[in-house]
Structure 1
């Protein structure tokens, strides 16, 4: 099962920049998108559905909040919108598709790097999302949570500018939440399960233009429930993709689909 997650900065713009052409060569079973910036009714037919895929979407009360979606080759058994956290539900920030062997969710946290007033909202959202993952551990199903945490976990996941400057995305309390997810709760950072190198960044934010070069940070994740340990076969970030300033994260799992 091949799963892709990518934050788009607008689906219409990404399609014009080659997103659907990229999909043709990606051979993915499930593609989780974030930040589509469209209304669900606009996404119901042709131009926004790549050939061979069904599409499911959620939008926020405000278009600038982004919204999330899931493209899938196989029709899900069920779709779940939101995770009973009002801020996420209002922002259209969590959508889950249930398949026979696994549930796959697309999620998007608030971006406080480019919009610092959202930091408190981001902190609350991250805490609520972490609590949801903790509750999920009690379920018998296996889960993949795919999306943009707006936060890097390890020193190797962020350019040196984040180490030296107090910037959202690499703050101590944010990273402590990821410690809880990956260390205490034993969720799997699917990319890091097989790729251990440094400078494996998924985003090059313009907000860090204070640097002479364009620094990067890994904020886009596929988070697998502990029962999927050992199922990650390969994982990579496609830094040749040019349809967004976020790069797609692609993971192959030994999971039936």
Structure 2
């Protein structure tokens, strides 16, 4: 099911790190979803165990939910809400250490494959090492899916919290963060190579080439109030799909999380 706007069929896709799905729902996230009416919602950092995903979380507002929680309760995890039954769901990277954290879920429809991913943050030295390993493993995973999407002529979209601000425009205080995880040269170079090697397009940046807007704010130093943020949440699409993007929004009127939802409309079906 896609939105019909005038004579156009529009596929509306939202991506958001909810920082705990139950917490976001308490902050009226479902009310916002009802009004926004996306077709597909990619959720990161759901922070809920499998046995706690009750029906009201699994199938709200006519959505069908597919989740991949972390083994550790209250940590990480991803999920996708969709209004159209997918052809196939694939969870994980086939790496037990990474997959125990529930970071990748892929869903295929006839015309599009969507990968929903939650990259490690690199919050300390140990986690930064884990992040760099994840980047290597994810690239191998993406290489295979990219080749498959070309053969199948299926569009490819990667949604999620990448935990990397790509350019100086994507972070408010870039000079003060040059040596911090999320803006390290090796991370940004990796992202540039991924974009170039697999012909991906940062769809928000395509639609807004000069707009300084962010998707995540630290809970310290009144960062939200002062809009001292980072743009680390992306929808990365192949060229064919990116060319069908017609509008985007980073919603900031209400806070459901320390991230803002990114919604993009595409002139296509799934």
**What TM-score does the superposition give when structure 2 sets the normalisation length?**
0.88
Inter-CA distance 52–214: structure 2 relative to 1 (3 Å threshold): same
Which deviates more, 11-20 or 206-215? 206-215
Does residue 229 of structure 2 align to residue 220 of structure 1?
Answer: no
Note the alpha carbon deviations across 1:84-120, whole angstroms, 9 max, x for none: 233331111111111111111211011224x453111
Query: Quick one: structure 1 residues 190 and 212, their matched pair in 2 at CA, closer, same or farther if it must change by over 3 Å?
Result: closer
- Aligned partner of 1:92 in structure 2 is 102
1:66-105 aligned at under 5 Å gives the runs 66-105=76-115
Richer in strand (by share) = 2
- In the alignment, which of 120, 124, 128 is matched to residue 129 of structure 2? 120
**Any stretches of 5+ residues in structure 1 without a counterpart?**
none
Question: Residues 151-190 of structure 1 correspond to what in structure 2 (within 5 A)?
Answer: 151-160=164-173, 162-165=174-177, 166-190=179-203
- 1:138-178 deviations in Å (ceiling 9; x for gaps): 11232211111100111101112x32332111000000111
1:107-256 matches, cutoff 5 A: 107-113=117-123, 115-139=124-148, 140=152, 141-160=154-173, 162-165=174-177, 166-206=179-219, 213=226, 215-256=228-269
CA–CA distance in structure 1, aligned partners of residues 40 and 223 of structure 2: 37
Contact persistence 2:156–2:237 (CA under 8 A):
yes
| Mapped partners of 1:70, 1:83: distance in 2 | 17
Please name the residue that 2:8 is paired with: none
The answer (yes or no) to whether the contact 1:37–1:59 under 8 Å persists in 2 is: yes
2:218·2:224 contact (CA, 8 Å) conserved in 1? no
Q: Distance in 2 between matches of 1:36 and 1:81?
A: 15
Deviations 1:48-85 (A, max 9, x none): 53211110101112134310000001111111111223
- The residue matched to 1:91 in structure 2 has which SS? coil
Indicate the SS of the match to 1:206: coil
C-alpha spacing 1:85/1:103, structure 2 compared with 1 (3 Å): same
Asked whether the equivalents of residues 199 and 216 of structure 1 are also in contact (C-alpha less than 8 Å), the reply is no
* Match of residue 33, structure 1, among 39, 43, 59: 43
Which blocks of at least 5 consecutive residues in structure 2 are unaligned?
Answer: 1-10
Distance, in Å, in 2 between the alignment partners of 1:143 and 1:243 is: 28
Matched, 1:7 2:17: yes
- Superposition TM-score, scaled by structure 1 size: 0.92
| Cα distance between partner residues in 1 of 2:64 and 2:193 | 34
